[in-house]
Structure 1
Amino acid sequence: MKNIITIILLFVFGTVFSQNDCKDYKENYIPKNLNDAIEYLTCEWSEADKTEFKNKEEGDAVTELHFGTGMGIRNGWELWKGKNRISRFFKSKGISHPDDMSSIILTSFHRVLNNKPIELDEQTEYYKSYWDGIKNQSKNLKKKFKELEIGDVIKVPLSGETGWRYDGTDRTTLQNYLYTVENSRDFDCFVVGTVVSTNKKRKNYFVTIKLTNVDNCEYKNPIYNEKEVSVGKLMEINMAIDKVIIE
């Protein structure tokens, strides 16, 4: 049955795309569902743009348009408001975030242009699994925060790759990794410290540590939040956002 449905969808889209008489869309038109969105993009994009998009590898094609065309879709189609027909269509599939909606639209469009099945169920399942994982990570972070005690040792991965001379001096401004980054990642810098205080503010989990080891951060004159990074200095991090490693 699934194969039959896929064949029907490909036939329908193939029929739509072979038409030269696209309907005249009114200004600021917002598609009502995924099929309508694909028909709209097919009619509104130039042949050159469609060919360029089609000939790129799927992941690259969609990622490159995330902050351009993707942003136009999210804003122009009012996906952030979440109240129109296309938003309700995606929410009925378990997709609530506008970034995910625009990615599914562009991915599906790319697949149709390449005569591939859209596999909407698989796409939606990917994003639902992603957010389930984020929720589980958030629960684990909350649990770890509650279990923290004064004197516990934690590691804080940081990056200075984009911070060299950030403020016009010879200092390196260190940035946090997002808490969702895997522990197995090869971090270019991390510092070690002991917990001196914790403070929960709404959904934020602030931890202040006293640095005990910065040997694994070899950037020149590193600073974090405008403060020197060296042994004995204090550093405040927010476990709700920032990556920490508790061993």
Structure 2
Amino acid sequence: MSAVKFKRPFKSEMTIPKLTFFLTCLFLLTACKVQIKLPKNLDESILYFQQQLTPAELDSFKNKPESDAVIELHQSTGQWIRNNWVYGDRDTALKNYFKALGIYAPDDISSIILTSLHRTLNKKEIELEKQVETYKAYWQPIIDCREKQKIQAVSTYKKFKVGDNITLYMPVDTSEGNRNAILYNCPTTEWVFNEKKDLILKGIVTKKYFINDTANAFFTVRVTYLNRKDTRILMEQVQIGNEKNFSLTGLKIE
């Protein structure tokens, strides 16, 4: 009788290369299912909405013209982005990511995210660099204007002492049917005084002070003269004899 030969059971040897390959495959399969909670960059921000929005919501957003789609969501999804990812004391990775690009305004961050999502859904180039340059071009004149205003405010602060007489000139807005002395925001702060419309206020400096920054300077002025007594100042009724606090930023003073 011939001897019965038994085949050796198959034995799989898990070598280091095989184990590495297996773990890599496992990671790739599970990574796609990781839910982004607080993105650290633009790619993760886009992925978050691709994961969280329904196919119908994504299609609705995708099929609208880009500017319409982004503007429409500015006060809803855009506000959610700003409230949950930008404002407050939280992980600053996303803010730091945009700060490194030169983007600081929360509105700009949310708009870039929504614009990039729309372009991704439509298989277009995101063109992040061009988006960033557009916002920088918008802000640069404002930054330059504010810097100029700070320099002027410091100069004015040093020029006057407590007890000095001072004259303020302010443009007056009458668009709502009343008279309100205002200050123009950067970058369009230049204006020509109109003696028939605008406000002249004269007074005495009773106090000088800063808030947080030496460039954020203020005078308290006791009002001694108003060329028009029917004019509010920054929506506040002011009469001769009142003391009024004035920020020196953007204020025309003699």
The answer to whether the aligner puts 1:180 opposite 2:186 as a matched pair is yes
Find 1:228's aligned residue among 230, 237, 250.
Answer: 237
Q: Tell me which residue corresponds to 1:39.
A: 47
State the TM-score, normalizing by the size of structure 1.
0.60
- 1:54-133 equivalent positions in 2, closer than 5 A: 54=62, 55-56=64-65, 58=67, 61-78=69-86, 80-81=88-89, 83-133=91-141
User: 8 Å contact 1:212–1:232 — kept in the other structure?
Assistant: no
1:182 CA displacement: 1.0
Distance 1:177 1:53 in 2: 39
Aligned-residue Cα RMSD (Å) equals: 4.2
1:234 CA displacement: 5.6
Distance 1:245 1:52 in 2: 50
User: 8 Å contact 1:156–1:190 — kept in the other structure?
Assistant: yes
User: 8 Å contact 2:146–2:186 — kept in the other structure?
Assistant: no
Q: Tell me which residue corresponds to 2:247.
A: 238
> Identity across aligned pairs (percent)?
29
Distance 1:76 1:209 in 2: 45
SS at match of 1:103: helix
Name the stretch that deviates more: 99-108 or 189-198.
189-198
The answer to whether the aligner puts 1:205 opposite 2:211 as a matched pair is no
Distance 2:66 2:203 in 1: 46
Distance 2:240 2:171 in 1: 16
Distance 1:146 1:124 in 2: 32
- Matched to 1:70, the amino acid is G
Structure 2: where are the runs of 5+ without partners? Answer: 1-31
The answer to whether the aligner puts 1:155 opposite 2:152 as a matched pair is no
1:91 CA displacement: 2.8
- Matched to 1:29, the amino acid is K
Distance 2:71 2:222 in 1: 37
Structure 1: where are the runs of 5+ without partners? Answer: 1-22, 165-171, 216-220
SS at match of 2:246: strand
User: 8 Å contact 1:214–1:231 — kept in the other structure?
Assistant: no
> CA distance change for structure 1 residues 81 and 56 in 2, over 3 Å: closer, same or farther?
farther
User: 8 Å contact 2:171–2:182 — kept in the other structure?
Assistant: yes
1:115 CA displacement: 4.7
Distance 2:153 2:92 in 1: 39
> CA distance change for structure 1 residues 115 and 161 in 2, over 3 Å: closer, same or farther?
farther
State the TM-score, normalizing by the size of structure 2.
0.59
> CA distance change for structure 1 residues 29 and 82 in 2, over 3 Å: closer, same or farther?
closer
